[in-house]
A = this chain, B = another copy of it.
Amino acid sequence: MPMSARPRRITIEDVARSAGVSRQTVSRAVNDKPEIDPATRQRVLRVAQSMGYRPSRFARGMVGPRLTTLGLVIADVLNPFFPEVVSGVLAAADERGWQVAVYSTGSALERETAVARTVVDHVDACVAFLLDPGAIELIHRSGMPFVLLDNEHRPPSVSGGRIDFATGMRHAVGHLVERGHRRIAMLDDRGRPDAGGHGTRHSLFLGAAAEHGLPADGEWVFPAANSLEGGAAAMDDVLAGGFGATAVLGYNDLIAIGAMRRARDRGMRVPEDCAFVGCDGLTLSRLVDPPLTTLTVDKELLGRAAVRQVAAQMTGAGAGETVIVPRLVVRASS
């Protein structure tokens, strides 16, 4: 028995030969074209089926109208921030008849370059949450339409979508000050390589605190892993530090909720002993106990806007920027 290296693909020609017709007739049968005898169609279809024939996407794409595949790079599907963005992207892409391929970096900075490389080869346009400048450059260089989301250090020549946390942080801190808080700790995402850099929530928080005459140096900012557990651990640090913080502001809802739960587990009352405020406005934040005060961001809109920008670039538009303004939703946690 000869070893068949790679079983050659079954082509339209094979089916044609086997059914005693021409390529074109097989094509007509498979694609439901009208100019074919119904009996012939059935026969051809049967032969095709029995041979296990499947038309090649690539050959089709070569000739017919091309399908655009949009690459969507997110950090982690399990992070509840992203599903809403994905939802917006899927909807907006669907409206345009585009396909969406989702890639996840698993929140690992070192994987970003590898993901970027695949993206460059396999999609026609890209919407991405990326932090590594190399990965960003890679995609940008490829020349494909590209929108970078939630990155404060986006090169000016690439389109982006960002959330106006400058305004948001002012509202959040203002709200806490109104409630009488003077000692506010922030739990920052330690996974970001640009911790404390210009435009980050970290520095915007310090700025807003300073505006209200609060202590505003790095001492009040605690690094936390981007997860419930990370928030909880960081809360431990806050408590252990003896800062006497009466309010905690999380980089996002996940961290804030993790911290809040840890505080409760330690016997603290929320918001009496310590108030909590998050960022992002996850659905989740409404459901926890107590419901979390949070800077709500329309994440679905962020996704839709990104697709819109990609579409604009396809028709030759230059780099642009979309800004989403967060809205403070006050709930029982503060």
A122 beta carbon closer than 8 Å to chain B: yes
Q: Do the beta carbons of A99 and B83 come within 8 Å of each other? A: no
Q: In chain A, residues 86-137, which have Cβ atoms closer than 8 Å to a Cβ of chain B? A: 86-87, 90, 99-104, 118, 121-124
Chain A interface (Cβ < 8 Å from any Cβ of B): 49, 52-54, 56-62, 66-67, 69, 76-78, 80, 82-84, 86-87, 90, 99-104, 118, 121-124, 141-144, 228, 257, 261, 283-284, 287-289
Please tell me which one of the listed residues B59, B78, B284, B287 contacts residue A87 in the complex, with CB atoms under 8 A apart.
Answer: B78
Q: How far is the CA of A84 from the CA of B80 in the complex (A)?
A: 10
Q: How far is the CA of A59 from the CA of B54 in the complex (A)?
A: 18
Q: Do the beta carbons of A100 and B99 come within 8 Å of each other? A: no
Q: Which residues of B contact A61 (CB under 8 A)?
A: 57-58, 61
> Quick one: closest B residue to A76, CB to CB?
B87
Q: Which residues of B contact A283 (CB under 8 A)?
A: 78
Q: Do the beta carbons of A86 and B102 come within 8 Å of each other? A: yes
Q: What is the count of identical protomers in the complex?
A: 2
Please tell me which one of the listed residues B58, B257, B288 contacts residue A66 in the complex, with CB atoms under 8 A apart.
Answer: B58
A126 to B: closest C-beta gap in Å: 12
A245 to B: closest C-beta gap in Å: 23
Q: Which residues of B contact A123 (CB under 8 A)?
A: 57
Please tell me which one of the listed residues B54, B56, B78, B101 contacts residue A142 in the complex, with CB atoms under 8 A apart.
Answer: B54
Q: Which residues of B contact A87 (CB under 8 A)?
A: 76-78, 104
> Quick one: closest B residue to A291, CB to CB?
B289
Q: Which residues of B contact A86 (CB under 8 A)?
A: 77, 102
Q: Do the beta carbons of B102 and A90 come within 8 Å of each other? A: yes
Q: Which residues of B contact A78 (CB under 8 A)?
A: 83-84, 87, 283
Q: How far is the CA of A80 from the CA of B81 in the complex (A)?
A: 11
Q: Do the beta carbons of A80 and B77 come within 8 Å of each other? A: no
Q: Do the beta carbons of A122 and B287 come within 8 Å of each other? A: no
Q: How far is the CA of A122 from the CA of B69 in the complex (A)?
A: 10
A123 to B: closest C-beta gap in Å: 8
Q: Which residues of B contact A66 (CB under 8 A)?
A: 58
Q: Do the beta carbons of B56 and A62 come within 8 Å of each other? A: yes
A42 to B: closest C-beta gap in Å: 14
Q: How far is the CA of A279 from the CA of B69 in the complex (A)?
A: 35
Q: Which residues of B contact A52 (CB under 8 A)?
A: 143
Most buried by B among A58, A78, A101, A289: A58
A77 to B: closest C-beta gap in Å: 5
Q: Which residues of B contact A100 (CB under 8 A)?
A: 101-102
Q: Which residues of B contact A142 (CB under 8 A)?
A: 54
Q: Which residues of B contact A82 (CB under 8 A)?
A: 83
